[in-house]
Amino acid sequence: MLGLAATAAILGLLAGLAGLVAHRLVVARVARLAAVPPATPERWPLLSVVIPACNEAATLEAALGAHLRSDYPALELILVDDRSSDETGAIADRLAATDARLSVIHLAELREGWLGKTHALQVGLERARGEWILFADADTRLEPAALRRAVGLCEARALDLLAVVPGLDPAGPLLDALAFQFYRNILAGARAWEVEDPRARAAIGVGAFNLVRRAALERSEGLAWMRLEVADDMALALLLKRSGARCAVANGRGLVALRLYSALGEMARALEKNSYAILGRYRATRAILLALAPPLVDLLPVLGLVLPAPPWVRATALAALALAQAGILLGARWLGAPLRAALLAIPANLVLSALLIRGAILGWRRGGILWRGTLYPAKQLREGIRVRFP
């Protein structure tokens, strides 16, 4: 019978191998947007960029300026100011006065039965005229060629949804490692390499860049189906995939960028809703157990090394650590994350777990989630769950 050290080492080896295979599949099957040949259609379809914004004054001007520098020839931008209490609305109005392609909608009230962000997306969609709709976050920055490449890829492959994973701006060693782990876990856990397979259930959306064909969205149940879903980006992908739409994921490194979080406190506040709502489905115990799983898996090979065991167990544990680190390095290279993020990935999982546990406890104490200045009761939100992880 295997002892604890041997069991931990073998399980760690299997986990490391699975992680390496998952990252290899992502690299092999998920296209890099910058490597896609530029399209030259006879007519570029009208593209509407819908940007919901709530208190985004710190990043909005740079993001909107990048959108307005796009070389896409048929473009309209719609900024939905969702009850902001800072200078978001004033910044958007000032930029709109200098470029007719940008229009601004100011929301003073939240439609009953909706979350703030999904409501803002719906209002922007109602104003949009484009054949294609890009739902983008207010801190997403695009290179001028990004929209041409994305629409061209969709038209060439007859896609209805393209979710683009952005390159991540450096923010410091710990934050870089946390952001890298956040994306790495999603891409592997949601099986990004299967998204384009119409027979697979895998679906991934990215809040920074979800490009949707309007006709496909109109064939679905519409954004009302996801009005109370906190994971709105993933819910949009699920909505379209279940309606038969052709979906894909692309690596936007070099063309699409953002800084996921600028400070640890900012990330902690953002993960409050992710933990209690998305991971836990409004149950703190579930969220805590799932948050503990990644660091516990990371520690399996360590147990094989520190506990008394024969030499083959230590060799197995070392092989497990090597496989895990190889998968991490492969993922970091693909995402364009700095080497320090890869080297700190395993310790970062512990910090990420702690932040998620904190969010679960706060959600339980509040009886819901606090998002965009509004407290949404868990009892109401449970009725709107669409995305289920894992």
The pLDDT value recorded for residue 189 is: 86
Model confidence at 1, in pLDDT bands (50, 70, 90)?
low
Model confidence at 272, in pLDDT bands (50, 70, 90)?
very high
Quote the pTM value: 0.95
Q: Interhelix angle for 264-273 vs 173-189, to 10°?
A: 30
The angle subtended at Cα 267 by Cα 202 and Cα 255, nearest 5°, is 60
Tokens of 352: 């990420």
Is the predicted pLDDT of residue 269 greater than 60, yes or no? yes
Q: How many residues does the chain have?
A: 390
3-state secondary structure 269-329: HHHHHHHHHHHCCCCHHHHHHHHHHHHHHHHHHHHHHHCCCCHHHHHHHHHHHHHHHHHHH
The pLDDT value recorded for residue 306 is: 93
- At the topology level, CATH places domain 28-258 in Spore Coat Polysaccharide Biosynthesis Protein SpsA; Chain A (3.90.550)
Average pLDDT of the chain to the nearest whole number: 94
Strand partners, 249: 163
The pLDDT value recorded for residue 390 is: 65
Is the predicted pLDDT of residue 277 greater than 80, yes or no? yes
Name the most confidently modeled range: 204-213, 344-353, 369-378.
204-213
> What mean pLDDT comes out for the span 160-179?
94
Domain ranges of the chain: 4-26+264-380, 28-258
> Rounded to an integer, what distance in angstroms lies between the CA atom of residue 328 and that of residue 184?
8
